[in-house]
Amino acid sequence: MDAKNRAARLKLMAFDIDGVMTDGRLYFTEEGKEFKAFNTLDGHGLKMLQKAGIELAIITGRTSGAVTARATNLGIAHLFQGVEDKRECLGRLLTTLGMSWDEAGYMGDDVVDLPVMLACGFCAAPANAHEAVRSRASLVTREQGGAGAVRAACEFILAAQGRWDQAMAPYLQAPGALPA
């Protein structure tokens, strides 16, 4: 089955953080506090998926206050940090939500993401993901992690589900024009 058909069935899309929503680098202050840089284009893509009715989740192996803040900022309720077995974590979430693996997607960048990615009906990877991940992903974006890869995946999903025009409609109306 091709990527478009796989993405058309999604009801939930989950994402890794480091290397997907960020560039994968870890930043620490002299005091040892960690911080991360997130891409605003990615964030708006996630909001567009939410508005289209797709559940979002973050499942990451590391734990960071910056990730908690970003998830809160984006209204992502399903946040799982410090996860060793991402597949098991997503499986529990799917059971809770009453969804199947075919209705789930995951975007990851490294070999630790492969078990969860391969269990999902759809999986995506940024352009700079590990080769083993890129070669098995349903979709590999042209963009790198932290530089619009999440946005590209979101737009691909919206288009596959026939929701792209609806998602774009609010931005394409002339000032003062009434909605059609």
pLDDT at 176: 64
162-167 contacts, C-beta under 8 A, 24 or more apart: 162/8, 163/52, 166/52, 167/48, 167/51, 167/52
Exposed/middle/buried for residue 29 (C-beta within 10 Å: 0-12, 13-18, 19+): exposed
**Average pLDDT, integer, range 40-44:** 96
Q: What angle do CA 52, 56, 60 make, to 5 degrees?
A: 160
- pLDDT-derived band at 31 (thresholds 50, 70, 90) equals very high
**Average pLDDT, integer, range 49-72:** 96
Average model confidence (pLDDT) for the chain?
95
The span from the CA of 7 to the CA of 1, in Å, is: 10
pLDDT at 112: 97
Domains of the chain by range and CATH? 3-171 (3.40.50.1000)
The span from the CA of 119 to the CA of 68, in Å, is: 26
Provide the H-helix boundaries in the chain: 3-8, 40-51, 65-74, 86-97, 114-119, 131-134, 149-160, 164-168
pLDDT at 9: 97
